[in-house]
Amino acid sequence: MEQLDYLISDLALILVVAGIITLIFKKINQPVVLAYIIAGFLISPNFSYLPTVVDVEDIHVWANIGIVFLMFGLGLEFSFKKIATVGGSAFVTAMTVMTAMIIIGYTAGQLLGWAKMDSVFLGGMLSMSSTMIILKAYEEYKLKKEKFAQLVLGTLVLEDIGGIFMMIVLSTVAVGQSTSGLDVFKNIGMLLLCLMIWLVLGIYLIPTFLKKVSNHITDELLLIVAIALCLGMVVIANLIGFSSALGAFLAGSILAGTIQGKRIESLVKPIKDLFGAVFFVSVGMMIEPQLLLEYLGPILIITAVTILGQMTFATLGILFSGQSLHTAIRGGFSMVQIGEFSFIVATLGMSLGVTSDFLYPIVVCVSVITTFTTPIFIKHSEKVYGFAKRHLSPKMYKFLNRHTSEQQSTADKDWDWQRYIIKFFIRTAICTVGIFFIYIGGTRFLQDFVHQYIQGLAGNILTAVVTCGFMIPLISIMCSKKSVLYTKLWLKSQANRMPLLAFTGMRIIISCGFIVMTLRVLLRLPYLLLVVVSFAVIVFIIKSDYIKGKTLKIEMRFVENFYETTLAKQKKERGIKGEYHWLDESFYVVEFKVTHTIKQNTILEFCQSRFFHVTIIKIIRDGKHINMPNGKFRVIEGDIIHAIGTKNEIESCILMLEKEDHIQEPQEPMVTLREYIYGQIFYEIEPEKQIICCPIKVESDSSLLKKSIKNSGFRPRYKGYILGIERGMLPIVNPDIDMIIEEGDLLWVIGTQKMANSLLKADFLDDEE
C-alpha cells in the first residue's frame, strides 16, 4: 500500500507543478514542452527547494508509457497520402538536413574528444527539428497556412519517418559497438517485414473490421480497441527485437488510414498529452546543474552547431529543391532547434547503455536554449531575406530567380513528380541493396578467401579492386540513367532543375559512400583522400561509354528475364510468330511549324538542347521534303518539322518549344508510327519522299555486331536511324546510343528508300522485306 501511495503522490506532484509552470509559460507565450522540462527539474532530487519525487524508477516507467503514446499519436498523424502531398521539395530538404547534421554532429563529438558512440548518437539527435515547437510558433504568428510553413511541416514528417529508421540503425550499431553493415541490413529487412504486415493490416483487416462495426462502436469501445492495437504492436515489436516506439508508431499509422482515424486521434489525444507530459517531466528530472556547469563549453558549442547547421542546411536544402530564396530563408530559419524526437533517441542510447551520463542533460539543455531562440529566428526571417536580397550580387540573384520559383511547392506535387519520386526511390533502393551485398561480400568473405593465397597489402588491394569492380555496373545503372520523366520535369520548369540535380547528387553520394567504406576497411587510407578518389571514380563511371554499354546490356538482360512471362504472353496475344507490333504502339509522330529561329539552329544543336530523345525525321521547306536531315542541317523559320518519339518525349518537347515561342502549336494530334507511314500513301506522297520503317535481324556475321549504336556508323553509312531494338522478347524503345548490338537483336530502323536500297546491298534485308 505504501508503494501505491508513493505512486499516487509522485504523480500528483508532477501534475500540480507541471500545471502551474504551464500556466506561467502560457502567459509569457513559451512552448508547453519547455514548461514540462522546467517542472521536471524543479521536482527532481537535483533541486532541493521544492518537494521531490520519491520513487524515480516508477516515473521512468510512466515516461516509457509516455514515449509509447507520443509515437502512437505521431503515427495517427501519418499517412502515405501525406507523404505524397509533400512533394519532391520536402524529400530533398529532409535528406539534405539529416545527412548534413548527422555528419556535423558526429564530427563535433569527435572534436570534443567524446567516445565514438556518444558522437554517433549526438549526430542522430541533432538531425531532426522539433515538430511541436515549430508548429506552436507558426500558430502563434499565424503562419501555418503559408507555403514555406507547409513545406517545413512536410519536411518534419519525413524527418520523423527517417528518425524511425535511424533508431533501428542506432540500435544495431549500439549492440555491436560498431557499424556492422550485415546486422544493420538484417534489422532493416526485419523492419520491411513489419511494414508488409503493417500494410496488410492497415489496408485490409483493420479498416474492414471498423467499417463492419461502425454502427455499433462507441467512443469507449473505440478507445479500448485503439489502445489494445497500440500495446499489441508494442509487444510484437519487442518480440521481434525492435523498440516500443516503433511498434506504437506502426499501430498509429494503421489506424490513421481508416475512416475512424480522426475520431481515434481525438479520443487518444488527452491520454497522449497526459503521458507525454510525464515523459517531458522525466526529461527535466535528468538535468544536473553541476554537470551542466562542468559541460558549459560543449553545451554552447553544440547549441551554436545546431542553430547554424540546421539554419544553413535547411535553407540550402529548400533552395536545392527549387524553392525561391524567400521560401528558403523563412523555412530554414524555422528549423533551428532540436526537440522531442531527440529525447527519444537519447533515451534509446541510455537504455542500451552505450552513451555517457553527460550526453542526455547536455542535449536537454541545448533543446531548451534552441526552443527559446526559435521564435526569434522565425520572427526575423523576413528581415534577413530583405538583407540577403539587397546584398546578393546581381549575377547570383539572377541565377536564383532563374532556377527557383515561388510556385515550386505547388508544381512539385503534380503527377509527374510523384511518379518520378516513386521510380527514383525504387531504382535507388534496388541498386543500393545490390551494392550493399557486394560490399559485405567483399569485406567479409572475399578478403578472407584472398588472404589464403595473398597476404598483407597486396591481398587487400586485390580485394578492393574486385569488390569495387563488381559495384561498377550497379553504380552506372543508378547514376547514369536519366528517364523520360526526368527530361519532362527538367523541361517543365527551370525551378525543377535544382531538385532533379539534388536527387542525382544523392545517388552519387550513396555510391561514393560505398566506395569510401570499401577502401577504408581494406586499405585504411585517409578519409579526405578516399572521398577525392571515390568521386573521381564515380565521374569516370558516369562518363565512360564502354561501361555504359556493358551495364545497359546487364540491365536489359535483367529486365528481359524479370518480365519474361509477361512479354511472352503479350507477344502471343499481339500476333503470330514473325509479326512485330510493339513498335507501332510505342512511337508517335507529330508535326509542327517553326515560328522563331534560335541561335543554335542546326539539327544537332536543336535536338541536343531541346529534343533529347525526340528525332527529326522530316523537314518540309517550301514544299520540298527533306527526309532524315543530318546534324548539320539548319532549322529556319517557316519549316514544318516531323518528329518522332514516345508520347512523353513528344509532350516534353512541345512543352519546351511552345514556352520559348519557337513553334506553333500542332494543328493535328500526334499519330502512331504505323498511322504516319500508311498516311503517306493516303496523301499520295511520292515513294522517294516517303519515310519507311523496317526490321533488321542481326546475324553472327553482321558488321554491326558487338558495336555500340553510336560507333556502328549506321546513320552516316545507311542514312537511317535505329529507333528500337527487340532483344529476345524485350522491346527496347529509343535505346541508349552506348548500347551494344548483340547477335539475334531485331533492329527497328527508320529512314528513306535510299536507306532500304543500301541495306539490301549490304544483305541486311531480304528482297521480300
Strand partners, 615: 644
Question: Does residue 694 register a pLDDT over 50?
Answer: yes
Q: What is the pLDDT of residue 190?
A: 61
Query: What is the pLDDT averaged over residues 620-638?
Result: 79
Residue 199 in grid coordinates: 500494410
Helices (H) and strands (E) in the chain, counts: 33, 10
Please state, in angstroms and rounded to a whole number, the distance separating the CA atoms of residues 207 and 202.
7
User: Is the per-residue pLDDT at 327 higher than 80?
Assistant: yes
Range of weakest confidence among 554-563, 642-651, 680-689 = 554-563
Q: How confident is the model at residue 462 (pLDDT cuts 50, 70, 90)?
A: very high
Q: How many CB atoms lie within 10 A of CB 561?
A: 11
Least confident piece of the model among 220-234, 478-492, 496-510: 478-492
Helix, strand, coil share of the chain (percent; to 5): 70, 5, 25
Is it the case that residue 727 has pLDDT exceeding 50?
yes
Structure confidence by residue, pLDDT tens digits, 192-216: 666 666 656 656 677 777 777 777 7
pLDDT band for position 594 (50/70/90)? confident
In this structure, are residues 281 and 53 in contact, taking their beta carbons and an 8 Å threshold?
A: no
Give the pLDDT score at 581: 47
As beta bridge partners, residue 627 has: 618
Q: How far is CA 32 from CA 170, 342, 372, in A?
A: 29, 17, 12
Q: Is the pLDDT of residue 269 over 80?
A: yes
The residue among 741 and 570 whose pLDDT is bigger is 741
φ, ψ at 749 (rounded to 5°): -120, 150
Res. 467 pLDDT band, cuts 50 70 90: very high
Hey, which bits of 676-745 come out as E strands?
Answer: 692-697, 721-727, 730-733
**pLDDT in the model for residue 466:** 92
What's the grid cell of residue 196?
A: 508488409
What pLDDT does residue 286 have? 73
Q: What is the percentage of the chain residues whose pLDDT exceeds 90? A: 3
Amino acid identity at 535 = F
Residue with cell 483493420: 206
* Arithmetic mean of pLDDT over the chain: 77
Domain 59-392 CATH assignment equals 1.20.1530.20: yes
Q: How many residues does the chain have?
A: 769
Q: What does the block give as the cell for 442?
A: 567483399
Tell me the residue type at 606.
F
pTM for the structure as a whole: 0.63
What digits encode the pLDDT tens for the residues 349-403? 887 778 888 888 888 888 878 877 888 888 888 888 888 888 887 777 777 776 6
Q: Residue with C-alpha cell 514555406?
A: 148
Read off the amino acid at residue 725: I
Residue 571 pLDDT > 90, yes or no?
Answer: no
Res. 304 pLDDT band, cuts 50 70 90 = very high
Query: According to DSSP H, which parts of 563-713 are helical?
Result: 564-574, 582-586, 603-606, 647-659, 673-682
Whether residue 291 contacts residue 361, with contact meaning beta carbons closer than 8 Å, is answered with: yes
Q: Of the segments 39-43, 105-109, 635-639, 714-718, which one has the largest average pLDDT value?
A: 105-109
Name the least confident of 167-176, 439-448, 744-753: 167-176
Q: Is residue 270 within 8 Å of 223, Cβ to Cβ?
A: no
For the ranges 6-15, 126-135, 465-474, the one whose mean pLDDT is highest: 465-474
- The Cβ of residue 526 has, within 10 Å, a number of other Cβ atoms equal to 9
Distance CA 235, CA 253 (A): 16
Q: pLDDT tens digit string along 39-89?
A: 888 888 777 777 777 666 667 777 778 878 877 887 787 655 555 555 667
Residue 624's identity, in one-letter code, is: K
- 694/306: higher pLDDT: 306
pLDDT, average across residues 447-471:
89
For the cut 80, the answer to whether the pLDDT of residue 445 exceeds it is yes
Name the segment(s) of the chain with CATH classification 1.20.1530.20: 59-392
Q: Where in the chain is the domain with CATH 3.30.70.1450?
A: 582-688, 691-761
| Distance in angstroms (rounded) separating the CA atoms of residues 299 and 63 | 25
Residue 769 predicted with pLDDT over 80: no
Return the DSSP state at 665. P
CA dist 392 and 398 (Å) reads 10
pLDDT for the residue numbered 301: 92
Which band of pLDDT confidence, cut at 50, 70 and 90, is reported for residue 576? Answer: very low
For 418-428, what is each residue's pLDDT tens digit? Answer: 778 777 878 88
Residue 521 vs residues 463, 467, 536: alpha-carbon distances, Å: 11, 12, 19
Span 2-14, average pLDDT: 72
More confident position, 769 or 210: 210
**The predicted structure's pLDDT at residue 578:** 46
Q: Which residue has the higher pLDDT, 132 or 615?
A: 615
Q: What is the pLDDT of residue 602?
A: 62
Answer whether CATH 3.30.70.1450 is correct for domain 691-761: yes
Q: Which CATH superfamily is domain 582-688 in?
A: Regulator of K+ conductance, C-terminal domain (3.30.70.1450)
> Where residue 568 falls among pLDDT bands split at 50, 70, 90?
low
Could you give the 3-state DSSP secondary structure of residue 56? helix
